[in-house]
A and B are shown apart, each in its own frame.
Chain A
C-alpha cells in the first residue's frame, strides 16, 4: 500500500527532513510512526498525499509513484486517503453534518450519497446525537470524532492521522485510538504519527521509529520506547 525506497527530502533552506528512508506498509496494517518533533513524520505524511515530493528516492502509494502524479491523479489519490489532523481542521461555523457534507461534495459525492452516508459514519464514530450541532459547541474528543467521521466518509482505503490525540486528555486519547483501531479492523489501513506513549503501548501494533530523518527501528507489536 505504501512503499518507500531511499526517500530523501531536502528543503530549500538546506534542512534535510528525511534521509534515505525505506519501508513497506501492507494493506490492512495498523502502524504507528513515532519520533520527536522534527524527526520527519509530518514531511513523510505530506509526501504520502503529494503535498510534497521526495528530493530523491521513490515513494509509491497504492502502487503508483507519487512524484509522477499530475492534476486529477492527485485528487484521486487524496480521495482514497482519509486525513485526520491534530487540530481537527473543521469549519467552526458549520454543523457536524455540513462539515462532512462539505468534504464529500468536494470529493464528488452526490447529495443522495451524502444523505445515506453521513448518518452511517456518525454512528460509527459515536456522534450520531451531535449531527446538527455546530462544531464550536463540541468537546475536544467530539471534534476529533467529527474529524475521523469526515476522513472515513469517502470510504478511503487508508487513514493517515498526524498526532490525532495531541490536543486531547489521556482518556479521550484512548477512546480516539480505539476508534481508529475499530476502523482498521474493518479493513482500512491506518497510519498514525504520534508521540503519545500511552496509546502506542496500549495497542501493541507495528511501530516505525524515526530519528532525525532516519528510520532507526521497525518493530511488530512494538512499544513507544524501542526495545533494543
Chain B
C-alpha cells in the first residue's frame, strides 16, 4: 500500500466517523462500556488471584502430637513427614514455644496465662507446622497424616481454602461468559455503524467500482473507521479504570489496615492496557470486516 494512500484512507475514515456522528458515538460508547466492565472484571480476577496466592502462602497444617506417643512413634512421625512428597516444610514447635507465642499474641492480655508458668501445667501440646508444595493438596494431606501414629490431632483452614478455590473458579467462568457476550455486542454495534457508512457512501462506492478501484482500495477506509471506533472506545475505560483503581487502593490503605495489599496501580494498569487496547482495535476491525463482506464485492 502506498504511503499517500494510507494518508488518504485515514482521512476518509475520520470524515466518515464525523459524518455518522451519533452512530459513531453510540459505537464508541458501547465499546467503552464493554471494555470498562471487562477491565473491572479483569482487575477483580487479577486481585483475587493475587490474594489467593498471598493467602495460600499462609495456609498451613498444624499437627498436634499425642502426649502418650512413644519416642519411637515420634521418630517414625518425623520420618514420615520428611519423606512425604507433598510436604515442603515441617517445623517443630514445642509446647513451651507454643505458650511463648500465645503470650506474645495476647500482648497486654497475657495475664490470662497466669498459672501456666510451670512446664508441667502447660495445657498445650508439641506440634508441627507444615507447609505444602501445592496448597490445593492441603485437605487430602491433612486427612492422610491424621492417620499416622503419634498424631493427636490436625487443624487447617479447611473451609477458607476450599471456598477460596470455589470462588475463583466461579468468577473465572462468569467473567469469561460476560467477556464473550459483551465483545459480541460491541462487534455487532460497530458493524452496524460501518454498514451505515457503507449505505451513505453507496454512490461513491459504485463510482469507485466503475472506474476500476480495487476491492481493497474501497475497503481500507472502512477498516480504518472500525479501527478508530475501537481505539477511541479504549481511551474512556482506561482513564476511568486508572482513577477508579487508584481511589480503591487509597481507600483500602486508609480503612482496612490488615487487608493484604492489592496489585499496585502501575502493574495493574500495564496488564489492563495490554489486554484492552488490542482487544478494542480487534473489535473494531472485526466489526468492519463483518459489515463489508456482503456489501463491497465488485
Contact = CB atoms under 8 A, between A and B. Distances in A.
Interface of A: 49, 71-72, 74-80, 83, 89, 91, 102-108, 110-111, 150, 154
A72 B208 CA distance: 14
B212 A102 contact: no
Nearest to A92: B203
14 contacts: A71-B214, A72-B214, A75-B214, A77-B212, A79-B212, A80-B212, A83-B210, A89-B203, A104-B211, A106-B208, A106-B213, A107-B213, A108-B217, A110-B4
B69 interface: no
B102 interface: no
A111 B4 CA distance: 9
Contacts, number: 54
A213 to B, nearest CB: 24
A79 B212 CA distance: 5
Interface in B201-230: 203-204, 206-215, 217-218
B22 interface: no
B298 A74 contact: yes
A107 B206 CA distance: 13
B8 A78 contact: no
Q: Most chain-A CB neighbours within 10 Å: which of B204, B214, B217?
A: B214
Number of chain B interface residues as a range: 10 to 19
A91 B212 contact: no
Contacts of B203: 89, 91
Nearest to A76: B212
Contacts of B214: 71-72, 75
A72 B214 CA distance: 6
A134 B105 CA distance: 88
Q: Most chain-A CB neighbours within 10 Å: which of B8, B208, B212?
A: B212
A78 B204 contact: no
Interface string B97-136: 0000000000000000000000000000000000000000
Q: Most chain-B CB neighbours within 10 Å: which of A75, A76, A110, A111?
A: A75
A79 B209 CA distance: 10
B6 to A, nearest CB: 13
Nearest to B215: A71
A100 to B, nearest CB: 10
B204 A102 contact: yes
Contacts of A91: 203-204, 207
Nearest to B217: A106
B211 A107 contact: yes
Nearest first, the 3 A-B pairs at minimum CB distance are A78-B212, A79-B212, A106-B213
Contacts of A80: 212
Given A105-B8, A110-B4, A75 B210 contact: no
Contacts of B210: 49, 78, 83, 89
A154 B212 CA distance: 10
